[in-house]
A = this chain, B = another copy of it.
């Protein structure tokens, strides 16, 4: 056998995206002529607002040159305006533009953690946190939420029991992907108190800020007592429906965190210049662009809620925000059910691709009876998808 060096353990240990596991089965099924409704992924189906594409076409400079490492001055100013419109006080100098929210998460983890340091997360959580943590060799310490109270916080004692000497931060996604839960003002107050008591950073992923249907969304920055240990991770992808533009930010009043983010930014030089410039109109007048999207997803949320009510034996709460929900199924193993549904089940030649929720947990064995649904289809298709899940559960003998 030819000797070849092995790859690193951290790369080997990284999980492949659990959302894509059944994707090839879905492709096979489509080739057999079965229509597949994708409830598994967060790829928006709506067209991007033409103002963005107009701004792309209007790109002026002769040279597509590096932007400054913290972002174009005009883009930083526009983000500051955007935040102000959302009752969040960030000046340009508190912000570093990143390649999507993804890079903001990486910067934050690396800024606050050395290898083997720990970050508290509430599971189920956005599955890519796992990948970033593996690469940064940071340990995610899960606090398990329960579907029974709509994935709201457990007791302070439960949260504090997971904090160790190596804990550096609490990471929240609010409104939450994958659960759709929005933490109340009272819950955030509790988290802020714990973070102060244990001297932890709070990393607050607020990319779904506008998608809040049931209750007011509070930013971590609305709690002045934590402002020097709060880090906001944000992205234009979902709220402006420009996922492929890859523009996000890391923002904080903590000057050391922003200085560290800027050094990381300098190492990778810059973020794409064309998109930074093209999103100026959206940042300066956000409501014009977010309102129609929020309205559409509120309608879909209602459709999903009504559809779920008709399915027997499932567990769920009314989705409060974002455009996801985690529901409990009356099956032993949602992984096997989802596989059966995409490979075997059909009604009038149609079926649904689900995302089993186990991949959104860090604790082994958790979420085995749960799946995440994303609201990325038109109302009619969403309705039909939920009908199909109901029919599949009736037929399933797992």
Closest chain B residue, CB of each to CB of A99: B99
By a CB distance below 8 angstroms, the chain B residues around A46 are 63
Q: Please give the distance in Å from A208's CB to the nearest CB on chain B.
A: 15
Interface extent on A, as a size class? 35 or more
A268 and B270 alpha carbons, distance in the complex (Å): 16
A69 and B23 alpha carbons, distance in the complex (Å): 14
A246 and B200 alpha carbons, distance in the complex (Å): 34
CB pair A272–B257 under 8 Å, yes or no, is: no
Q: Please give the distance in Å from A290's CB to the nearest CB on chain B.
A: 16
Among A2, A168, A241, A266, find the residue whose CB has the most chain B CB atoms closer than 10 A: A266
CB pair A115–B115 under 8 Å, yes or no, is: yes
A128 and B268 alpha carbons, distance in the complex (Å): 8
CB pair B14–A274 under 8 Å, yes or no, is: no
Known: A7-B112, A110-B11, A264-B131. A243 touches B56 (CB 8 A): no
CB pair A102–B14 under 8 Å, yes or no, is: no
CB pair A228–B110 under 8 Å, yes or no, is: no
CB pair A112–B5 under 8 Å, yes or no, is: yes
Please pick, from B5, B9, B269, the residue contacting A200 in the complex, using a CB distance under 8 A.
B5
Known: A65-B43, A131-B264. A228 touches B53 (CB 8 A): no
By a CB distance below 8 angstroms, the chain B residues around A148 are none
CB pair A274–B56 under 8 Å, yes or no, is: yes
Please pick, from B12, B168, B267, B272, the residue contacting A260 in the complex, using a CB distance under 8 A.
B12
**Is the CB of A146 closer than 8 A to any CB of chain B?**
no
CB pair B100–A16 under 8 Å, yes or no, is: no
CB pair B48–A14 under 8 Å, yes or no, is: no
**Is the CB of A254 closer than 8 A to any CB of chain B?**
yes
Closest chain B residue, CB of each to CB of A245: B64
Closest chain B residue, CB of each to CB of A135: B110
A229 and B266 alpha carbons, distance in the complex (Å): 29
A59 and B9 alpha carbons, distance in the complex (Å): 40
CB pair A244–B273 under 8 Å, yes or no, is: yes
By a CB distance below 8 angstroms, the chain B residues around A275 are 272, 274
Q: Please give the distance in Å from A207's CB to the nearest CB on chain B.
A: 12
Among A3, A64, A100, find the residue whose CB has the most chain B CB atoms closer than 10 A: A64
**Is the CB of A57 closer than 8 A to any CB of chain B?**
yes
CB pair B63–A48 under 8 Å, yes or no, is: yes
A99 and B256 alpha carbons, distance in the complex (Å): 26
CB pair B48–A64 under 8 Å, yes or no, is: yes
A287 and B48 alpha carbons, distance in the complex (Å): 35
Known: A45-B63, A62-B48, A272-B246. A257 touches B7 (CB 8 A): yes
Q: Contact string, A248-282, partner B, CB cutoff 8 A, digits 1/0? A: 00000010110010011011111111110000000
CB pair A268–B5 under 8 Å, yes or no, is: no
Q: Contact string, A357-377, partner B, CB cutoff 8 A, digits 1/0? A: 000000000000000000000
Closest chain B residue, CB of each to CB of A227: B4
Q: Please give the distance in Å from A203's CB to the nearest CB on chain B.
A: 12
Q: Please give the distance in Å from A15's CB to the nearest CB on chain B.
A: 8
**Is the CB of A132 closer than 8 A to any CB of chain B?**
yes
**Is the CB of A17 closer than 8 A to any CB of chain B?**
yes
By a CB distance below 8 angstroms, the chain B residues around A136 are 135
**Is the CB of A106 closer than 8 A to any CB of chain B?**
yes
Q: Please give the distance in Å from A312's CB to the nearest CB on chain B.
A: 35
Q: Contact string, A220-231, partner B, CB cutoff 8 A, digits 1/0? A: 000000001100
- 4 new A-B pairs (CB below 8 Å) besides A8-B114, A65-B244, A135-B264? A5-B169, A6-B256, A48-B64, A99-B268
- Which 5 pairs, one residue from A and one from B, show the smallest C-beta to C-beta distance? A131-B267, A244-B273, A11-B260, A102-B268, A47-B62
Show 6 A/B contacts (Cβ-Cβ < 8 Å), sorted by A: A5-B200, A7-B111, A12-B256, A46-B63, A103-B268, A115-B137
